[in-house]
């Protein structure tokens, strides 16, 4: 969902007269925390095949979210990133209280998964767990099924929705904002100076 939000943000920002070059020069202090967090999340399942220690996966997942929350917190002055922060906190709480992100079987069925497929996938996924009657904050878990024609079908949480909306608004607004400054910069050297300070 977040990847789809990023792609859509770039397209909308470009249509609104923005510049894609601004993305490369994105002013986002502590962005390295985001990179570290993503590396951790992308490699948890691979690492667990070697170590096979579920509690370590749980700790790594929590650490990755804390890094993301920290990165967004340091950039909290941006109004759109506040939505991302809410989404991250919701996901973090659900994961912390349940030792993983619970996934609804009902949502999986809507996407065409049988009970066996559902359990088999969770058995090799150290980031997600089956949703049970004892699941805490179940309404903020992965309960939202998105099927085709959505470009990235899957089961998402309310937190994922907040993160995606916030990411979309932040990126496309940033692209468009730089485009406006670029146009204004053609009118006077003073404006060009201000534009350079924003980079």
Q: pLDDT tens, 50-100?
A: 877 778 888 999 999 999 999 999 998 888 899 999 999 999 999 999 999
Report the distance separating Cα 139 and Cα 180, nearest Å. Answer: 41
Please, which pLDDT band fits residue 120 given cuts at 50, 70 and 90?
confident
Total domain count for the chain?
1
Is residue 40 within 8 Å of residue 64, measured between CB atoms? yes
What whole-number distance in Å separates Cα of residue 5 and Cα of residue 105? 25
| Least confidently predicted of 1-10, 36-45, 80-89, 113-122 | 1-10
Comparing 94-98, 117-121, 150-154, 185-189, which segment has the lowest mean pLDDT?
A: 185-189
pLDDT in tens, 81-91: 999 999 999 99
pTM for the model stands at 0.81
Q: Find the domain containing 189 and state its range.
A: 2-198
Q: Do 157 and 170 meet the contact criterion of CB atoms below 8 Å apart? A: no
For residues 176 and 13, the answer to whether their CB atoms sit within 8 Å is: yes
């Amino acid at each position: 969902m977040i990847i789809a939000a990023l792609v859509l943000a770039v397209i909308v920002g470009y249509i609104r007269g923005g510049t894609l070059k601004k993305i490369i020069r994105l002013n986002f202090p502590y962005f390295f925390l985001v990179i570290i967090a993503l590396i951790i999340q992308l490699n948890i399942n691979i690492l667990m095949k070697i170590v096979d220690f579920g509690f370590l996966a749980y700790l790594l997942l929590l650490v990755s979210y804390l890094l993301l929350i920290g990165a967004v917190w340091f950039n909290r002055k941006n109004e759109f990133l506040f939505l991302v922060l809410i989404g991250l906190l919701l996901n973090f709480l659900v994961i912390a209280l349940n030792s993983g992100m619970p996934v609804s079987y009902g949502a999986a069925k809507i996407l065409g998964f049988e009970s066996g497929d559902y359990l088999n996938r969770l058995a090799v996924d150290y980031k997600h767990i089956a949703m049970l009657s004892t699941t805490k904050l179940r309404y903020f878990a992965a309960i939202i099924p998105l099927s085709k024609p959505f470009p990235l079908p899957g089961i998402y949480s309310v937190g994922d929705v907040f993160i995606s909306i916030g990411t979309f608004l932040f990126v496309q607004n940033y692209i468009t904002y730089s485009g406006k400054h670029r146009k204004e910069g053609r009118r006077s050297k003073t404006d060009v100076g201000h534009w350079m300070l924003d980079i």
